[in-house]
Structure 1
Amino acid sequence: MTTTDQLSFPRQHAVTQRFTLGAPRAFAVSPDGVRVAFLRSSGGTDRVNRLWVLDLAARGGPSERIAADPAALLGGAPEHLSAQERARRERTREGSAGIVGYAVDAAAESAVFALSGRLFTASLTQPLVRELDAPGPVIDPRLSPDGSRIAYVTRGALRVAEADGSGDREIASPEKDEVAYGVAEFVAAEEMERTRGFWWSPESDRLLVARVDTAKVRRWWISDPAHPDQPPASVPYPAAGTPIADVTLFLMGLAGERTEVVWDRARFPYLARVHWSRSGAPLLLVQSRDQKHHRYLAVNTASGETRLVHEDEDPRWLELHDGVPAWAPDGRLVRIADEGGARVLVVGDRALTGGQLHVRSVLDIDVRDILVSASAGLEAEDPGTGEVHVYRVNELGVRRVSEGPGLHTAVRGGQATVLRTAGPGPEGPAVTVLREGRPPVEVVSYAQEPVLTARFRLVEAGERRIPAAVLLPTDYDASQGKLPVLLDPYGFPHAQRAVASHHAHLTSQWFADQGFAVIRPDGRGTPGRSPEWEKSIKDEMAAVILEDQVAALQALAEDFPLDLGRVAVRGWSGGGFLAALAVLRRPDVFHAAVVGAPVTDLRLYDSHYQERYLGDPNENPEVYARNSLITDEGLSLAAEPARPMMIIHGLADDNVVVAHSLRLSTALLEAGRPHEVLPLTGATHMTPQEEIAENLLLLQLDFLKRSLGLA
């Protein structure tokens, strides 16, 4: 790693994209365990990713080489991204450049990727990279398992070419402007973590292809007020309670012949997962719109008919998990289920884990065992607060692969396991290749070392034992007395803040070093503890998450130097909602809020997320009314005195549109409540621009000090 001591933390945090640049990522391991492909830029401030190969069987020992370098391939020319590619990157929160994704064949001997909308292939066994002629802009190219063909999407059409670029042909063409083949619709990419829309057969002779029709989805218009000469962009956005995309699935031959895959799409409109391997027929997971009912379906590849393999129901909702459903090599169904108050790994009809583990995802499946990531379950002897580990699970038991506290994940191929560890130490995330009977091999990171060290304590607060991280100023001494408090939570599903990872707390430490005690509670609704903990927010999201933030704050004040007369809260997206909620409904506890990209009228957010927790607003309008911030009922719950807010929002945000903040500002203005609005021209939900990212921290600090009387 390299260090740049002269940079301030806000500047370093911005130019390194939160210390992610230069770190290796996106690993693919060959099934014989001798090659590891990955992406990495050349330094901690370099946004351009190159494709690398780690040869574990090289003469003289493991060695790395560059398999594809965007600078050489583009001849120094700048990248040009299509609107579709920019939208894809926004869904995956991808802020880097160069090669941001790639796909390999089954043997991991070749890779294919798009660069500036052009199509490239690279050998992973020898120095050879070439551009193929393809009508662009190319999106999401993928090699067939045998490496003989490439499929990709351009302008809503799915095309297939031979691996040398010959025979390029269109096998699925959109029938109208609102139709696209081979892509993931908005809610699949944003909420289901399904970012692709086509899948090769194991025999490389046909594909499963999604057809997305957004004709009935309402259009929203995202404009750039700073450039009134430019027309607004039309975005099909399926807000809660409104029509969603019509997604169908086809089996397609290489000449374009097609067979529709049939299931009850009226009852199960969401195509959540697709799995196709040599271990069984194509496998689908489809969801009811309320997400209380899942069906696992096997596809007859001759007729397109489906048969029921398994179904799950839950009176609140069912979660989706990475890596499942899938077939085990012996043909049994692998899934993750909520059973007996625990989240367990199930193979066939048998749960292979119990209350000791809270299983989070399946990482790999082979004949020996199943590799999973999991946190400690409620019955665990060692709770391992804020930790996620990698385990090998089979009929004989469970064995932990990762060591030491931290957040661990892995990718496996054959006898090689690539283990990534983000631990509590200041050295930052590390990547190690583990092979049985051989010394571990480190994959070098070029990420910068932060100019500060996060000194956090992980604790459990109050009667509910709410996980929380607490950070005090680096130079704090007990003689200084109590400190003004800054809550820095997210508080919503699918994200934790009280984790045993150093870099996750860097921004909070910077705020602490400005004179605050920073606390980051993970109350009910946040993941990693138990199904009941996560699902207790059903229909009462606002009340439950706010209650736990207050409870954690008050409990922690008994053990830490917290001045409860000066308490602020900051958050982004769901955290922005929580920050605004805190000062509106509990101004007796919270005295100022930084409200970033907040969801304020919950009816304006997308169907798959919002209806999971609050149901259909057409059937349960009162649930949305009391949970939203700006409905009549929501505002009636606001209390006095009024507290200052800084509302921040990117005008180009197509996920949480700026209408949320504008409506909040209007409601506050009508109520005579003090607030500031900071519009970010050209910024999306992830605000990747360096200048914006840097100055946002400084402006928030200024606001917090002014509002709490610290300036």
Structure 2
Amino acid sequence: MSFPRQQARTRRFTIGVPRAFQVSPDGRRVTFLRGRNGEDAATCLWIRDLDEAAERVVADPRTIGADDEDLPAEERARRERLRETGAGIVSYTVDADFTRAVFTLSGRLYTADLAGGAAPSGVAAAVAPVVDPAVSPKGDAAAYVSGGALHVVGLDGGGDRVLAEPDGDGVAWGLAEFVAAEEMSRYRGLWWAPDGSAVLAARVDDSPVARWTISDPANPDAAARTMAYPAAGTPNADVRLAVLSLDGDGLAEPRWIDWDRDELPYLARAGWTGRGAGGGAPAGSGTGAPPEVVFTAQSRDQRTLALLRADPLTGKAVRELAETDATWVENMPGVPAFTASRELVWIGRGEQDGRRALLVGGRESGPPGGAYLRAVADVDGDRVLYSASPAGRPGEVGLWLLDTATGQTSAVEVPHEASGGGRPGGEGAVLSGRLGGGTLVVQRRGMDADGVRTVLMRGAESGGAPVVAGAVESFAPAPDLPVPNVRFWSAGERGVPSALVLPSWYDPDAEGTAARLPVLMDPYGGPHAQRVLRTRSAYLTSQWFADQGFAVVIADGRGTPGISVEWEQAVHGDLAGPVLEDQVAALHDAAARFGCLDLDRVAIRGWSFGGYLASLAVLRRPEVFHAAVAGAPVTDFSLYDTHYTERYLGTPQGRPEAYARSSVLEGWAGQNRPLMLIHGLADDNVVFAHTQRLSSALLAAGRAHTVLPLSGITHMASEETTAENLLLLQVEFLHRSLGSGPNPR
């Protein structure tokens, strides 16, 4: 099987990889999602018993008899925001005692027994379609959304009750609005109280938001889809929070949470103190104190992020702390959270060097050695698991375990034999993990092995080094591709993290110009994403392009994470200049350093922000870049959403010059270079209007270009045939444009 087909069929080798781990309170069991093999997209729910070293399938869509094809529109939108390409059981929640899980298939609610092994069963009383269900901490009920109404249904024969229903057009309860899910990593809008007596829910009114229409010209008989899209400088959805008690019958009387929504309109995180299992609440206090509502809210200019607590009975909120920055404040993953001693776990700016610091009870508690802090992964009692990159090594991600009682911090190290033969810990690799009941689930991706290694470790609560207690196998197949041939370095005076991928068959020591290779720049290049990581999976597609006869250069310039806050904020007010300048610097440094790059034949390709960067490169710097493939490019930031765009550029009304600097629609150089634009017509993130506007402007200027519209494809071009052929068409276009030939061995 060819690599393009294999990658498309396995959805970039993600099918069969275990994910979405949850750990029981006693640390003895873990649940996770995984397909039955590397090509079966019908994801199953599994459970692993560490004491017995055994695992079993808890719920299999095929035996349940639901194919998960008939998805409600709200669920399709939720998966699009999550970039979820899987099928079957794609998410689930568990109760506090780890006895029951709930999930949906084809818009119907199912419950699974985690303790006794009984077969999963549908919940007949639930009103279909069911969207984003959450099991109560006691495991006796589930909250979910259907038709914009918030329901609670009994799981042991009880009936279904509507707690809150839409009170106007555009109103929905219990779901995350577009910008929360797309940009703030908040994917839900309901959270159970720790004792199961109430539900905290978001009421979203998107009636102020502009309506955009997405249609499919290939199917003119199909109705166009209208969506609420908050473009930069236009109104956002109105979001409120309310506590809905389960006391009584019928609709609950909302107890509104009161905060200054004019000053802080963005709801970034929400939950409860105390361990509200299944509801995404912050980690628990464990002291028996009455739970409070806790949430973070952000100003529209994103220069203020406040943490607030609220009394669930009165709704009165008080501000516990606020982070401010003259540029912007980042919403950091995993916080707020609370230790068993009720100390707040937070990520804020450190007092000495301005780096992000882990704060526990207001004390700076990490990371060590000036590392770049990325996220809090879990809080387990008085222990905090967090991720960070060692200083000067942005392509590596390690895990650290902090004992807040003693202040001791230790790096999580995976023994050599358990890490697939690679080096221990996060050295030369990317680690991610979960922690519960003293059990660690560590996933390792490295340059020394294919795919993902998942290791289970016990004893994290003892103060000593955790020991390996088993592994969870990945069923993803090995890529039908040579081991990526990658060289890493820091390019230019700014030290841009860079990687060069050479063909597996290429001899870089060969002399003469005939040995030099055409160059393909392969960046993302924008905020919140890195391409230069110490993991093989990051270079599979690049290696395939290299083996077609290219020297592939990847660079993470200013604006990308992993180095410092200042590095990320260097794109403020200009998303074009710094990122393009750093790509050129990395290219020229690579040519001088390695000597095998032909700078007379340079192409660039990318998707989303990478597509924006590719089109920008060939239009503004045609003396450097001779051809480009731009997939789903943002060409006019006034067409992109509020929370992302205004963070970097302000509003179009207030800072039109920033939008002009960052636009692909102007600032072109005189020389015309081949440009292929690829865009899904069903894309509701970067809408097709971006490509259409650029194509119209190019046509008006008499500039030849190619447009490849993809009927029915969203921002994720994951459909198998489309994904396979996109790679083949791109490489053919690039060879033709550069005058090079395929695989010149």
| TM-score grouping bracket, smaller chain normalisation | over 0.9
**AA partner of residue 217 (structure 1):** V
Aligned-residue CA RMSD in angstroms?
1.3
Query: CA-to-partner distance for each residue in 1:258-285, whole Å, 9 max, x for gaps?
Result: 2000100011110000131322522110
Q: Alpha-carbon deviations, 1:468-508, whole Å to 9, x = none? A: 11100001113252111000000001100000010110000
Mapping of residues 270-349 of structure 1, within 5 Å:
270-278=266-274, 279=285, 281-339=292-350, 340-349=353-362
Change (3 A) 1:333 1:439: closer
Question: For 1:417 and 1:275, how far apart are their aligned partners in 2?
Answer: 24
C-alpha displacement at 1:385, in angstroms? 4.5
What whole-Å deviation, never above 9, does each CA across 1:597-618 have from its counterpart, x for those lacking one?
A: 0000100000000000001111
- Is 1:372 the equivalent of 2:401? no
Choose which of 686, 709, 719 in structure 2 pairs with 1:656: 686
Query: Aligned match of 1:429 in 440, 452, 457?
Result: 452
Deviations 1:42-98 (A, max 9, x none): 11111100110001122xxx10101001111126x5631111111111110111111
CA distance in 2, matches of 1:696, 1:162: 47
For the structure 1 residues 87 and 203, does the alpha-carbon distance in structure 2 shift closer, same or farther, using more than 3 Å as the test? same
Instruction: Say whether residues 1:30 and 2:24 are aligned partners.
Output: yes
Aligned residue number for residue 151 of structure 1: 143
Query: Which of 96, 101, 111 is 2:91 aligned to?
Result: 101
Secondary structure of the 2:730 match is helix
Say whether the 8 Å CA contact 2:394–2:563 is kept in structure 1.
no
Gaps of at least 5 residues in structure 1 are 1-6, 378-382
Q: Of 11, 18, 28, which residue of structure 1 is paired with 2:12? A: 18
* Residue 261 of structure 1, aligned match among 257, 260, 280: 257
Mapped contact 2:341–2:382 kept (Cα < 8 A): no
Q: Deviations over 1:532-591 (max 9, x none)?
A: 110111001100101111111111111121111111000000000000110111111111
Among 564, 572, 596, the alignment partner of 2:599 is 564
Alignment of 1:67 onto 2:90: no
The letter of the residue matching 1:306 is A
Contact 1:385 1:500 in 2 (8 A): no
* 8 Å CA contact retained: 2:386, 2:400: yes
Residue in structure 2 matched with residue 4 of structure 1 by the alignment: none
Q: Do 1:342 and 1:530's aligned partners in 2 also have CA atoms closer than 8 Å?
A: yes
- The residue matched to 2:321 in structure 1 has which SS? strand
Q: How far apart in 1 are the matches of 2:412 and 2:442? A: 9
Q: Matched residue of 1:518: which SS?
A: strand
**Is 1:8 the counterpart of 2:14 in the alignment?**
no
Partner of 2:77: 87
Q: Secondary structure at the match of 1:694?
A: helix
Q: Which residue pairs with 1:390 in the alignment?
A: 399
2:227 aligns to what?
235
User: Under a length normalisation based on structure 1, what TM-score does the superposition of the two structures give?
Assistant: 0.96
Superimposed CA distance per residue, residues 270-327 of structure 1 (whole angstroms, 9 cap, x where no aligned partner):
0000131322522110000010001110011121010010011100001111110122
Higher alpha-carbon deviation: 549-558 or 330-339: 330-339
The farther-off stretch of 387-396 and 467-476 is 387-396
Taking the aligned partners of 2:152 and 2:380, their CA distance within structure 1 comes to 30
Distance 2:385 2:600 in 1: 48
**Cα drift, residue 411 of structure 1:** 0.9
Which amino acid in 1 is paired with 2:76?
R
Equivalent pair of 1:30/1:109 in contact (CA under 8 Å): no
Shift in Å at residue 438 of structure 1? Answer: 4.9
Q: Secondary structure in 2 aligned to 1:688?
A: coil
- Structure 1: how far apart are the matches of 2:737 and 2:374? 40
Distance of 1:474 and 1:165 partners within structure 2: 61
Report if aligned partners of 1:426, 1:454 keep a CA contact under 8 Å in 2.
Answer: no
- Partner SS, residue 576 of structure 2: helix
SS in 2 for 1:448: coil
Which residue number in structure 2 is paired with residue 450 of structure 1?
479
Counterpart residue identity of residue 114, structure 2: L
SS in 2 for 1:363: strand
- Give the superposition deviation at 1:427: 2.4
**Is the 8 Å Cα contact of residues 68 and 105 (structure 2) preserved in structure 1?**
no
1:89 corresponds to which letter in structure 2? R
The AA in structure 2 aligned to 1:454 is: P
Q: What is the CA distance between 1:148 and its match in structure 2?
A: 2.0
| Structure 1 match to 2:506 | 476
Amino acid at match of 2:156: D
Question: Matched residues in 2 for 1:175 and 1:435: separation?
Answer: 50
User: Who is 1:551 aligned against?
Assistant: 585
1:380 corresponds to: none
CA distance in 2, matches of 1:411, 1:587: 47
Quickly say closer, same or farther: Cα 1:165–1:667, change in 2 above 3 A: farther
Per-residue deviation, 1:356: 1.9
Aligned twin of 1:595:
630
How many residues align? The count is 691
Shift of 1:372: 0.2
Deviation of the 1:512 alpha carbon? 0.4
Q: Percent identity?
A: 51
- SS class of match (1:558): helix
User: Once the two structures are superposed, what CA deviation does each residue of 1:593-648 show, in whole Å capped at 9, x if it has no partner?
Assistant: 00100000100000000000001111111111121111xxxx1x211211110000
- Mapped partners of 2:530, 2:108: distance in 1: 37
Deviation, 1:338, is: 2.5
Q: Equivalent of 1:359, from 360, 369, 373?
A: 373
CA contact (8 A) 2:380 2:436 kept: no
Indicate the residue corresponding to 1:114 in structure 2.
Answer: 104
Distance 1:108 1:308 in 2: 34
Q: What is the distance in 2 between the residues matched to 1:335 and 1:645?
A: 45
Q: Distance in 2 between matches of 1:121 and 1:264?
A: 39
What residue number does 2:529 align with? 495
Report what 2:39 is aligned to.
45
State the secondary structure of the residue aligned to 2:593: coil
Contact 1:426 1:503 in 2 (8 A): no
Q: What are the within-5 Å matches in structure 2 for residues 500-519 of structure 1?
A: 500-519=534-553
Assess if the C-alpha contact under 8 Å between 1:343 and 1:357 holds in 2.
no
Please state whether the residue corresponding to 2:658 is helix, strand or coil. helix
Native 8 Å contact 2:604 2:628 kept in 1: yes
Residues 683-705 of structure 1: per-residue CA shift (max 9 Å, x gap) = 00001100000000000001100
Shift of 1:237: 0.1
My pick for the range that moved more, 687-696 or 356-365, is: 356-365
1: CA distance between counterparts of 2:556 and 2:43? 34
Go from structure 1 to structure 2 and tell me whether the alpha carbon gap of 1:551 and 1:249 turns closer, same or farther (over 3 Å shift). same
Q: Of the candidates 708, 730, 733, which is equivalent to residue 703 of structure 1?
A: 733
1:162 aligns with 2:149: no
1:624 maps onto 2:659 in alignment? yes
CA distance in 1, matches of 2:293, 2:379: 16
Higher deviation after alignment, 35-44 or 364-373: 364-373
Residues 607-616 or 329-338, more deviating: 329-338
Unaligned runs of 5+ in 2: 275-284, 286-290, 414-424, 460-465
Hey, what does 1:408 align to over in structure 2? 431
> Contact 2:200–2:271 at 8 Å: present in 1 too?
no
**TM-score (norm. length: structure 2):** 0.91
Tell me if the contact between 2:50 and 2:469 (Cα under 8 Å) persists in the aligned partners. Answer: no
Residue pair 1:458, 1:499 contacting (<8 A) in 2 also: no
Which residue of structure 1 aligns with residue 201 of structure 2?
209
Tell whether the 8 Å contact from 1:341 to 1:530 is kept in structure 2 after alignment: no
* Cα distance in 2 between the residues matched to 1:457 and 1:607: 38
Check whether the contact 2:680–2:715 (CA below 8 A) recurs between aligned residues.
yes
C-alpha displacement at 1:207, in angstroms?
A: 1.1
Q: Which amino acid aligns with 2:655?
A: N
